[in-house]
Amino acid sequence: MKTRITRLFIMAVAISAMVGSVHAGVLLEWDFDGIPSGNGGTGYGESPFAPTWNESGFSSTGLERGEGVGFTGVSMSHAWGGRNYLAADANEALEEKIFFVFDVIAAEGFTMSLDSIQTPWYGSPLQSPSSGLWQYSVDGGDTWENIGGTRNLPSEVHGTGGQYDWVNLDLKDIDDLQDIYEAMFRLVIWGGGGASGGRNGRFYLGTGTAPPIDSDLKGVDNTLTVWGTFTAIPEPSAVALLVLSGAAILLRRRKP
C-alpha cells in the first residue's frame, strides 16, 4: 500500500511540475544606446526595430512607427522615435496612424503573463506632443483596449535640453494579458507642433544623448523593457499517460 501511495505522490508532483513551472524576468528589451543621430529614418531608429535582447524563444516583429509619424530632419541620438505628431486628439491620431506599435510573442510551448512595460521617453524643447494613450490588443490588432486614460507626455523642461520622463506601465491587473501566447501594444500620440528648426517637434522613446545632470533619469537603463512570467505548457500526451498510470494503480488497489 505504501508503495502505491508513494507512486501516486510522485506522479502528482510530476504533473504539478509540468503544469506549474513558472519563470519570471525580462521577456524582451530594446536598447536605444546604439541609435545614432542623423537625417531620415536611420537617425530616428529603424522601423521595424528588432529587440536587442529576448528571453530564449520569445520574439517580436519589431518596434514600428505608424505611417503618419514623420522622420525627416536631424534626429536625437540614443533614442527611437519621430516627429510631426500634429493630430488634435486620439481619434485623429489613429486615423492618421500617428503611433508607435510593437508585439510580444511567447516562445513555442509556453504561455506568458505580462507584468509591466518600462521606458524613458523624451520630447524636444519646443512643440513636442502633449498627450499619449497606451493600448493593447490580443486578437492580432482587430480590436484595441485602452490601458488607463490619456497620459501627459514629458513635461519636465531642462533648459534647452528637452523634456524627459519615465513610464512604468503596470499590466498585472489586466486579465486579458495573463496566460496568453501573444499581445500587441501601441502608443497613440498627438498634440504636437510642426516646428522645423533644429530638433523641435520631436518625440522619442529613450533618454536621448544623455539626460541633464539634474534629471531623475540620470543613470536609468535606456531601454524599452517588457517584464513578465512564462510557463511551460505540458504535452497533452505526457499528462494523459501520467493520469492513466495513476488510474491503473488505483484499480489495482481495489482488487480483492
Does residue 190 have a pLDDT over 70? yes
DSSP state of 206: E
CA-to-CA distance for 51 and 216, rounded, in angstroms? 25
pLDDT tens digits, one per residue of 58-104 = 999 999 999 999 998 888 888 999 998 999 999 999 999 999 999 99
Whether residue 240 is contained in a domain is answered as: no
Whether residue 76 is contained in a domain is answered as: yes
The domain that holds 164 is classified in CATH as 2.60.120
Q: SS3 for 56?
A: coil
Whether residue 119 is contained in a domain is answered as: yes
Mean pLDDT, to the nearest integer, of 184-199? 78
**CA neighbours closer than 13 Å in the CB half-sphere of residue 81:** 33
CA-to-CA distance for 200 and 28, rounded, in angstroms? 30
Residue 166 belongs to domain spanning: 22-234
Specify which residues 81 forms β-bridges with.
204
CB 82 within 8 A of CB 69: yes
Q: What's the pLDDT score for residue 18?
A: 47
**CA neighbours closer than 13 Å in the CB half-sphere of residue 213:** 0
Average pLDDT, the chain: 82
Q: Residues 98, 227, 105, 184: is their CA dihedral positive or negative? A: negative
Comparison of pLDDT for 13 and 189, the residue scoring more: 189
Pick from 99-113, 142-156, 182-196 the range whose average pLDDT is largest. Answer: 99-113
- Here the cell at position 198 is 533644429
Q: Residue 98 phi/psi, 5° resolution?
A: -100, 85
DSSP per-residue codes, 69-137? -B--SB--SSEEEEE----SSHHHHHHTT-EEEEEEEPPTTEEEEEEEEEEEEEE-TTT---EEEEEEE
Contacts of 62 (CB under 8 A, 6+ apart): 47, 48, 49, 50, 51, 102
Banded model confidence at residue 162, pLDDT cuts 50, 70, 90: low
Comparison of pLDDT for 171 and 216, the residue scoring more: 171
Q: Please report, rounded to a whole number, the percentage of residues in the chain having pLDDT higher than 90.
A: 54
CA-to-CA distance for 161 and 13, rounded, in angstroms? 58
How many angstroms separate the most distant Cα atoms in the chain? 92
**Counted domains in the chain:** 1
Whether residue 45 is contained in a domain is answered as: yes
Whether residue 1 is contained in a domain is answered as: no
Banded model confidence at residue 202, pLDDT cuts 50, 70, 90: confident
Q: What's the pLDDT score for residue 219?
A: 64
Q: Residue 215 phi/psi, 5° resolution?
A: -80, 145
- Here the cell at position 2 is 505504501
Average the pLDDT over each of 52-61, 161-170, 197-206 and give the range with the smallest value.
197-206
> CA triplet 72, 167, 179: central angle to 5 degrees?
110
Whether residue 85 is contained in a domain is answered as: yes
Whether residue 180 is contained in a domain is answered as: yes
Whole-structure pTM value? 0.82
Contacts of 25 (CB under 8 A, 6+ apart): 55, 227
Pick from 11-15, 37-41, 214-218, 244-248 the range whose average pLDDT is largest. Answer: 37-41
Whether residue 103 is contained in a domain is answered as: yes
CA-to-CA distance for 29 and 118, rounded, in angstroms? 10
CA-to-CA distance for 77 and 32, rounded, in angstroms? 8
Banded model confidence at residue 165, pLDDT cuts 50, 70, 90: confident
pLDDT tens digits, one per residue of 5-43 = 444 444 444 444 445 578 999 999 999 998 988 776 678
